[in-house]
Amino acid sequence: MRRICLTLPTNRACPVTISALGREAAYAADHFDVEVHLLVLDSCDAPTYAEHVETLRALPAHPGVVVHHLSEVEQRHFLERVIGRTGTAKPGLLLELMLPERLSYGACTNRAFLVAFALGCESVHRRDSDSRYQTGVNGETVFPIHHELASLGRRAADAADAVSETVLAEDYADRRVAMVGSSFVGEPSVDIGEIARTAPAAYHDLVSLWAPMDWPAERKRQLVEESFRGAGQDPFGRDHSTLTLVDPMRVDMCNIAFHGVHARVPLPPATDTIGSDYFLIHLVHDAGLPGVLHNRNIVNYYTAERRTDPGFLAYQTRFVKFLLSMLYFNFLYDRLAEASQLLLDERGEVRASVVAGFVRQSVLLDQAENRERLNRADAVYRSLGGRYADFAELLASRRERLLEEARDDIADFAVLTEVWGELVRAARETPLPDTAHGTRWVAR
């Protein structure tokens, strides 16, 4: 029986999502020959953490489901032991990259990867706290893990019988399915919908900044049209899945599962930057690793915190940092696409050293393009007036710092990629702490 990890990193109250995740874990154990390790990585405050403890305790016990609930303190202790086993000369730096004080979408998922390796899990299935599952025509909950476990880790040739269609060249038949994913319906993944509704031209100018500056206008327009919208608004009808090289624009990190590739390369640990956790999706595609795209889309919604003034400023900052990160990621995606088959070794696994080399090259890029991005973003925000203009003032005051942070984030990614293999090996030898008082509750 194989072990899998169904994980939810969270820094906000989400008892409803946790309960639904428990039902997805039970579904997986009931329908597939797997032991499901349901992992909640909890960075919430004490009252919210306690609420999550009770939510997990209320889940019906299932013989095929093991529940792990790790506070940030427990995550830190685990990471310290893992890092200590590597013998690194810079344990403090690695700990900061794995568990930064500031929000990091990539770092929280990297922690889930290492914990999954410690638990002996061969795949990681990630969900988000601000999402819900769809229901089918008969009222049944539509769990993405159904498609993930049907194909993930199998040879592409063998996985063909588990999908609706195959759009994959014969050359890839012997490679294993490295990723299964889908997208979302509901609210856009980036909270700039107000700009889209009230100032379409400003929305275009802002969103197009994540494209390379030298792209022609029509290509930028097409990018803006398909950005952040997921799978639209259509409700789930019936299952459809495609074995293919998955287009990174068609999947989302709230609805994703990885096999193998996450043992070779981590996610960028950038802080306060949306989209920083999408790198592996691009790597899987460009390396020619088979994937499955299905239509069990998750429902995305916005939390109330984003509507507050502090929440608004924090989110817009993360969006601008995403725009700045694209100087580096556009370069990296070009290099990955050019390298293609050279990204894989003789066993069909990603060469982490090649990826790390590209990341190191990107650190040296001239920041002139990012300065222009900030100029244009500033002009758009000021044109919108109100709190957007107030944000432009904040942006101007942090200009040099933001440029430095974007470059430093990529340098950190290079460091982490170079040592990731050692961290994975150490994690596989490091048991989780079995603490008392329900801080890590196991249902058998």
pLDDT digits 0-9 by tens, 425-437: 999 999 997 643 3
The candidate with the shortest Cα–Cα distance to 250, out of 277, 233, 229, 265, is 229
Could you list the residue range(s) of the whole structural domain that residue 352 is in?
Answer: 2-428
Residue-wise pLDDT for 267-297, tens only, equals: 999 999 999 899 999 999 999 999 999 999 9
What does pLDDT average to over the chain? 93
Amino acid at 83: I
CA–CA separation, 380 vs 155, rounded Å?
A: 48
Q: SS3 of 179, please?
A: strand
CA–CA separation, 440 vs 69, rounded Å?
A: 5
Q: What is the pLDDT of residue 304?
A: 65
pLDDT at 344 exceeding the cut of 80? yes
Q: What is the pLDDT of residue 305?
A: 62
Cα diameter, the chain = 59
- Within 8 A by CB and 6+ apart from 134, the residues are 141, 142, 185, 235, 236, 296, 297, 298, 299
- Is 268 among the domain residues? yes
What's the pLDDT band for 46 if we cut at 50, 70, 90? very high
CA–CA separation, 73 vs 143, rounded Å?
A: 31
pLDDT at 358 exceeding the cut of 90? yes
Q: SS3 of 438, please?
A: coil
Residue-wise pLDDT for 152-191, tens only, equals: 999 999 999 999 999 999 999 999 999 999 999 987 767 7
175 contacts 346 by C-beta, under 8 angstroms: no
CA distances from residue 218 to 197, 231, 380 in whole angstroms, order as listed? 21, 22, 20
56 contacts 40 by C-beta, under 8 angstroms: yes
What's the pLDDT band for 229 if we cut at 50, 70, 90? confident
Number of domains the chain is built from = 1
- The proportion of the chain whose per-residue pLDDT surpasses 90, expressed as a percent, equals 87
What's the pLDDT band for 219 if we cut at 50, 70, 90? very high
pLDDT at 311 exceeding the cut of 90? no
The candidate with the shortest Cα–Cα distance to 243, out of 299, 297, 170, is 170
Burial class (CB in 10 A: 0-12, 13-18, 19+), 308: exposed
CA distances from residue 337 to 114, 327, 333 in whole angstroms, order as listed? 27, 16, 6
Residue 308 or residue 385, greater confidence: 385
- Is 175 among the domain residues? yes
Sign of CA dihedral 336, 342, 348, 351: negative
Q: In this predicted structure, which of 98-102, 268-272, 310-314, 391-395 has the lowest mean pLDDT?
A: 310-314
- Is 442 among the domain residues? no
- Is 438 among the domain residues? no
Q: What is the pLDDT of residue 400?
A: 97
Residue 121 or residue 229, greater confidence: 121
The candidate with the shortest Cα–Cα distance to 190, out of 12, 9, 315, is 315
221 contacts 243 by C-beta, under 8 angstroms: no
The tokens of 217 are what?
Answer: 């206008």
Q: What is the pLDDT of residue 264?
A: 98
- Within 8 A by CB and 6+ apart from 324, the residues are 370, 373, 374, 402, 403, 406
Query: Could you tell me where the beta strands, DSSP code E, fall in 43-183?
Result: 65-71, 123-126, 131-132, 134-135, 141-142, 165-167, 179-181
- Is 250 among the domain residues? yes
CA–CA separation, 225 vs 240, rounded Å?
A: 24
Phi and psi angles of residue 432, each rounded to the nearest 5 degrees, phi first: -75, 150
> What are 318's strand-pairing partners?
none
- Is 359 among the domain residues? yes
Q: SS3 of 403, please?
A: helix
Radius of gyration, alpha carbons of the chain: 21
Question: Going edge to edge, which strands form the sheet with 256-259?
Answer: 65-71, 34-42, 2-10, 123-126, 256-259, 179-181, 291-294, 241-244, 165-167
CA 150, 259, 332 angle in degrees (round to 5)? Answer: 130
Amino acid at 251: V
Amino acid at 418: E
Residue 190 maps to which CATH number? Answer: 3.90.550
Q: In this predicted structure, which of 251-260, 309-318, 375-384, 389-398 has the lowest mean pLDDT?
A: 309-318
Buried b or exposed e, range 125-155, using 16+ CB within 10 angstroms: bbbbbbbbbbeeeeeeebbbbbbbbbbbbbe
pLDDT at 417 exceeding the cut of 80? yes
- Is 436 among the domain residues? no
- Is 440 among the domain residues? no
Find the helix or strand (DSSP H, E) in which 3 lies: strand 2-10
